[in-house]
Chains A and B, each alone.
Chain A
Amino acid sequence: MKWKRKDLLDLENLTAEEIKHILHTAIPMKEILGRPIKKLPTLRGKSVVLLFYESSTRTRTSFENAAKILGADTTNFSVAQSSVNKGESLLDTAKTLQAMNVDLVIVRHSSSGSAEFLADILNAGVINGGDGQHAHPTQALLDYFTIQDHLGGFEGKKVVIVGDILHSRVARSNVVGLKKLGAEVTLVGPPTLLPPEMKYLGVKISHHLDQELPGADAVMALRLQLERQQSGLFPSIREYSKLYGLNKERIKLTGKDTIVMHPGPMNRGVEIASDLADSVQSVIEEQVTNGVAVRMALIYLLIGGGTVNVVD
């Protein structure tokens, strides 16, 4: 399959075939990651800019590593040390990047739609590294890679996502693609964090975790932003944890060797207990590794010429 897209902004417009193509391309990338010398000449001379308006350790580092392994030059355009603090608008920043003739921009921004905003202006490719509450497509893709690795596929697999669905770009992107791939998704959370309008996603919505766990092949806990408690969205961390926190005892309700996922960073003891996070069922560290592989695949597809077989 020939890759034709300039950008990856969300998964809404991607076909199941395209998603599978990305996942397929990531397989040799993961193999490269396991080598003692992790460096390819493939993207030598290509420039990748990491434009991060929100703090992020793992996503930024993951992208940066992915680009470097492929041989591209990376530049960090992080907010604290740029002209953004001097009041430059996203529009002017985009024009500046355009003038520098970069090949790929990876953006994270607190406003939904900011990646699309950039993509409309730039000739360079744009990868959405998370925009507001809208989308986080590379997180979803690395989750799919992990699920595929462990469960062998998606058709008929039951995936439960639990937590603050309303404010989660990870949950939105995950559901959109999982549906396309044929998985059966259930969203779980308290009514204030999983309000009725989330039914637009067209998957099962539940407020009772214990009822949904039986039969689950994969369970994903979302990071709970603790400041939501102050704004009154749930009464206490204690009650949240009691109702929606994952732990070793509770996960037994699935009746299966369920894999346990988390996009990180974790609040141990809140949405996930350490006994589970560090257990054999946990694939959380693999998610991080797979994140680099999937991002290598994407960067390669977007600016590397588009065929799979160039990789070694």
Chain B
Amino acid sequence: MLWIKNVNLVDPTQGLSGVRDVVVRDGIISAIQERLQEQDVLAVLGTARIEEVQQIDGSGKYLFSGLIDVHVHLREPGQEDKEDIRSGSRAAVRGGFTSILAMANTSPVIDQRALVEFVRIQGQRAGMARVYPIAAVTKGFKGLELVEMMDMRDGGAVGFSDDGKGIQNAEMMRLALEYAKLTGCPIISHCEDNDLAGNGVMRRGEESARLGLRGIPASAESVMVARDVLLAGETGGKIHIAHVSTKESVQIIRAAKNIGIDVTAEVNPHHLLLTDKDVTLTGTSFKVNPPLPSMEDQEALLQGLADGTIDMLATDHAPHTWEEKAKPFAEAPFGINALETALAAVWQGLVVKGLLSPEQVVKLWSLNPARRFGLAGGTIQVGSAADMVLFDPLYKEMITAESLESKAQNTPFLGKEMQGFPVMTWVNGELLMENRKILDRK
């Protein structure tokens, strides 16, 4: 039993943003009111003993519905040296995420129901964030045959994606969008034309030219975004565009929404906060796919967030071992480890600067993801499950390899001090993180 007092509760579903007390009983939100008295709380909780109630002073802090990250790579099965479902879901909880969607580019690829169930069960065993599997679109990511979408949905998949690779064959994507209508789940498209991307390692432009690194033109993404929204329009399928990173992609998605195509889109914090100018020859933590955008692209992404063209934030958490990243830039793998730094990065880089409101953060990172993927959560209201985050905008922390729950440390923020962190995370009413530490179960 839990009583959080005087906390700044932000819940866009109810249009609520103000100081409230929140009471939780048996994992369910039982009361939300201003300045509750002890006898009221005891009445709601049906107990006479105040000692049984954990009381938390929330003044100066925010209470958000638990963040939902629709794009994480947990690397299990097969690449447990980088991350596993346990370490990744612990990192999620430490970062304020109560639900995460695990991408299918593991080894083997998640292309059968048994594998979907494995991911789900491993998530339950870890007992941290809720882990929802994303299933592959095509068997073995080969882009040739569809997976058994209905069976996989029944096994727990909440979306389909060959993320990590773009589906090169347009007819394959058309068929996927058409067939997936049976499931009601969106296809998540990793938009990347392999021929245009070539062997590029960063965004093509003056910075790639300066560093002598092969460039990936913005068109490598945008041409496939255009293709996929057209196919979604034609088939009436549901498409979700992963990690939008170019101005042209934003323009295309905006136009597609205007003509009623069922498209949603996510953007990664690193694309909003870093640009190709931040890339250095030895900074492999800045190597990510899609690559860090130009300044102009970044402005378009922020505009897309502001006007609702982009529906959600997502980390694209992509852990890699230290050895894999300790290489010359072109040889290191793509990916940024993000679950434990993303909220702080967005807070200090966008909210503090007035580019995003706390209400928008909750909408973009909790409510909208829950709605698009049909998940529990995304709101704090009486009767809903208590997936919540207590966020302290003043909390400062130095990002170090030792402090991270993730197995990997490939974050551009390593060694930097950040401000604004979750200090408590509850999943289903259970406190799993307190004062930046995971609470291990007995």
**A residues bordering B, Cβ < 8 Å?**
89-91, 109, 111-114, 116-117, 120, 131-135, 166, 169, 172, 195, 197-201
Query: In this assembly, does B282 line the interface, its C-beta being within 8 Å of a C-beta of chain A?
Result: yes
Binary per-residue interface labels of chain B (351-381) against chain A in the complex, 1 for a CB within 8 Å, 0 otherwise? 0000000000000000000000000000000
Query: Is the CB–CB distance between A117 and B282 below 8 Å?
Result: yes
Closest to B280 in A: A113
B215 near A112: Cβ-Cβ < 8 Å: no
Comparing B70-78, B174-182, B324-332, the segment that makes contact with chain A is B324-332
Given A113-B328, A117-B282, A134-B204 contact (CB < 8 Å):
no
- Asked whether B329 lies within 8 Å of A89 as measured between CB atoms, the reply is no
B439 beta carbon closer than 8 Å to chain A: no
Stretch with Cβ within 8 A of A (4 or more), from B90-98, B148-156, B206-214, B232-240: B206-214
Q: Is the CB–CB distance between B206 and A117 below 8 Å?
A: no
B429 contacts partner chain A, Cβ-Cβ < 8 Å: no
Inter-chain contact A132/B204, CB cutoff 8 Å = no
Q: Are A90 and B209 in contact (CB under 8 A)?
A: no
- Shortest Cβ distance from B204 into A: residue: A197
Q: How many of chain B's residues have a CB under 8 angstroms from any CB in A?
A: 22
**Does A117 lie within 8 Å of B209, measured CB to CB?**
no
Verify if B323 is at the interface (C-beta below 8 Å from A).
yes
Known A-B contacts A113-B329, A114-B328, A197-B204; A89 and B323 likewise in contact (beta carbons under 8 Å)? yes
Contacting A at CB under 8 A, from B86-135, are: none
Interchain CB contact under 8 A, B205 and A197: yes
**Docked complex Cα distance between A35 and B199 (Å):** 48
Instruction: Please state if B282 and A197 are interface contacts (CB–CB under 8 Å).
Output: no
Q: Is B281 an interface residue (CB 8 A)?
A: yes
Contact A109 B328 (CB under 8 A): yes
Q: How far is it, in angstroms, between the C-alpha of A135 and the C-alpha of B211 when the chains are bound?
A: 9
B206 engages A112 (CB within 8 Å):
no
CB distance from B147 to the nearest CB of A (A): 34
Q: A113-B282, A116-B281 are in contact. Are A133 and B213 (CB under 8 A)?
A: yes
Q: Which residues of B contact A112 (CB under 8 A)?
A: 211-213, 281, 328-330
User: Which residue of B is nearest A112, CB measured?
Assistant: B212
Which residues, 204 to 229 on B, are CB-close (under 8 Å) to A?
Answer: 204-215
Least CB distance, A287 to chain B, in whole angstroms: 22
Q: List 6 A-B contacts (CB under 8 A).
A: A90-B327, A111-B327, A111-B331, A113-B281, A113-B328, A134-B281
Q: CB distance A200 to B328 under 8 Å?
A: no
Give the residues in chain A near B323, CB-CB below 8 Å.
89, 91
- Tell me the bound Cα distance from A254 to B214 in angstroms: 34
Q: How far is the CA of A197 from the CA of B327 in the complex (A)?
A: 26
Contacts of A132 in B (CB 8 A): 212-213, 328, 330
> Closest CB-CB distance, B333 to chain A, in whole Å?
13
Residue of B nearest to A113 (CB): B281
A198 to B327, CA, bound (A): 26
- Residues of B within 8 Å of A135, CB to CB, are 212
Q: Contacts A91-B327, A109-B328, A134-B281: A197 and B213 contacting too (C-beta < 8 A)?
A: no
List A contacts of B210 (CB < 8 A).
200
> Contact: A117 with B328, CB < 8 Å?
yes
Set of chain B residues within 8 Å of A120, measured between Cβ atoms:
282
Q: Chain A residues near B213 (CB, 8 Å)? A: 112-113, 132-134
| CA–CA, A195 and B209, complex, Å | 9
Report the bound CA distance from A135 to B25 in whole Å: 64
A98 to chain B, nearest CB (A): 14
Q: A199–B329 contact, CB under 8 A?
A: no
Contacts of A195 on B, CB cut-off 8 Å? 209
Residues of B within 8 A of A201 (CB): 209
Chain A residues closer than 8 Å to B212, beta-carbon distance: 112, 131-135, 169, 172
Q: Nearest-CB distance from A105 to chain B (Å)?
A: 15
A197 pairs with B208, CB closer than 8 A:
yes
B295-336 contacts to A, CB under 8 A, are 323, 326-331
Cα distance, A172 to B323, chains bound together (Å): 30
Given contacts A113-B282, A116-B282, A120-B282, is CB(A198)–CB(B209) below 8 Å? yes
Most buried by B among A133, A135, A172, A199: A133
Q: Which of B205, B215, B329 meets A111, CB within 8 Å?
A: B329
A88 to chain B, nearest CB (A): 12
- Per the bound structure, the CA–CA distance linking A133 and B208 in Å amounts to 10
CA distance in complex: A312, B282 (Å): 40
Interface string of B187-214 (1 = CB under 8 A from A): 0000000000000000011111111111
Residues of A within 8 A of B281 (CB): 112-113, 116-117, 134
For residue A120, which residue of chain B has the nearest CB?
Answer: B282
Q: List residues of chain B with CB within 8 A of the CB of A111.
A: 327-331
Which chain B positions have C-beta within 8 A of A198? Answer: 209
B225 smallest CB distance to A (angstroms): 22
Q: What's the minimum C-beta distance from B201 to chain A, rounded to whole angstroms? A: 9
> What are the nearest 4 A-B pairs in CB distance?
A113-B281, A134-B212, A111-B328, A133-B212
Residues of A within 8 A of B208 (CB): 197
Complex: chain A residue closest to B215, CB-CB: A197
Shortest distance in angstroms between B114's beta carbon and chain A's nearest beta carbon? 34
Residues of A within 8 A of B329 (CB): 111-113
* CB neighbours of B282 from chain A (8 A): 113, 116-117, 120
From residue B415, how far is it (CB to closest CB) to chain A in Å? 15
How far, in angstroms, from A117 to B280 measured CA to CA in the complex?
11
Tell me the minimal C-beta distance from B246 to chain A in angstroms.
Answer: 16
How many Å from the CB of B435 to the closest CB on chain A? 36
Q: Closest Cβ of chain A: how far from B399's Cβ, in Å? A: 20
How far apart are the CA atoms of A166 and B209 in the complex, in Å?
7
Residue numbers in A under 8 Å from B331 (CB-CB): 111
A114 contacts which chain B residues (CB < 8 A)? 328
In the assembled complex, the CB of B60 is this many whole angstroms from the nearest CB of chain A, namely 42
Task: Assess whether B327 is in contact with A89, with CB atoms less than 8 Å apart.
Answer: yes
Which B23-70 residues have a C-beta within 8 angstroms of A? none
